[in-house]
A and B are shown apart, each in its own frame.
Chain A
Amino acid sequence: MDRWPFWVGALALGAVAVATLAATGRPLGVSGFVAAALGRPGAPPRAGSLLFLVGIVSGGLVAALSDAGLTPTLVDAAHARFFGAGVTGALALLAGGVLVGFGTAWAGGCTSGHGLVGVSRLQPGSLVATAAFFGTAVAVSFALSLVLGGTP
């Protein structure tokens, strides 16, 4: 896919975060929307959160259709280089996903809620969480490159 220069991406992401706050009154936070769409303990699933998530999927679809077109793929070549294309690759995605879900629920935020909105407001919990997840991802990615070989 044709990539935006960094400043266009920065403006677009920032604009979405600010527009979400202005238009809904709620701060952007995708992992929080996931939790709300699934139904937090003692609360019914929230339709607005679910629709926001459906919107993210539609956005990816629009990006593909307006670029090279939609070509469904079952395997990511770079991911498969590290984890394999078959069962091992799928297990890595599943385990990674479980860690992402469990970790963001425990931390009370992900890249958007903590990393973007929380850090932009210099919230102590968000600064610590962002240092923890970025730092860990950096360390683990260097380890993957060293142990499994190369950078895709």
Chain B
Amino acid sequence: MTPTTLAPSSAGPRHLLALLLGTALGYSLSRIGFTDYAEVHRMFVFADLRLFLVFMGAVLVTGLGTAVLGRWRSLPHKRVHAGVVVGGVLFGLGWAIAGACPGAALAQLGEGKLYALVTLVGVALGTLAFHALDRRLALLRSDDACG
């Protein structure tokens, strides 16, 4: 199957699309409950499996859609390296403590949960700190593909 992309080539429509897609994601994260510390915690201690079911269902839908678009094989490969283990562990620790992954923290802010600003400052500092270190220590090299 040939890869399909409807990506507009000029900046205006591209930027409007990015804004709309982000809005759909933020709205969904809020209505699902990924922005609620208590719900996320209940997922992680298996007290409520709804968020897990959402996630597993979303993986299926994404896989099917990606295959229909003919992109299942052609997207960047995500190989195993030290960072996916150590970085993954650090991310899991942070998610359990702050209760938000990067997208959820942004949607929290939109909901009026102003404390998410503190989480987001942390996310920005952590990202910049990694890139500063990464430039000095090539051994921390991560995949450069969008994450």
Contact = CB atoms under 8 A, between A and B. Distances in A.
Interface centre among B18, B62, B94 (most CB of A within 10 A): B62
B31 A9 contact: yes
Given A108-B145, A121-B66, A140-B97, A38 B115 contact: no
Given A51-B22, A107-B147, A140 B92 contact: yes
A10 B97 CA distance: 25
Contacts of A25: 5, 7
A99 B91 contact: yes
Tell me what chain B mostly uses at the interface: helix, strand, loop, or mixed.
Answer: helix
Kindly state the interface size class of chain B when it binds its partner. Answer: 35 or more
B62 A17 contact: yes
A110 B24 contact: no
Interface residues of A, number: 120
A147 interface: no
A27 B127 contact: no
Contact of B28 (A59, A96, A113, A141): A59
Interface string A118-136: 1111011110111111111
A41 B147 contact: no
Contacts of B103: 30, 56, 110-112
Interface in A83-131: 83, 89-90, 92-121, 123-126, 128-131
Contacts of B30: 1, 59-60, 63-64
A119 B25 CA distance: 18
Interface in A1-57: 1-4, 6-36, 38, 40-41, 47-49, 51-57
The list of the 7 closest CB pairs from A to B, nearest first, reads: A97-B122, A55-B22, A59-B26, A14-B61, A101-B126, A60-B110, A10-B57
Interface of A: 1-4, 6-36, 38, 40-41, 47-49, 51-64, 70-79, 83, 89-90, 92-121, 123-126, 128-138, 140-142, 144-145, 151-152
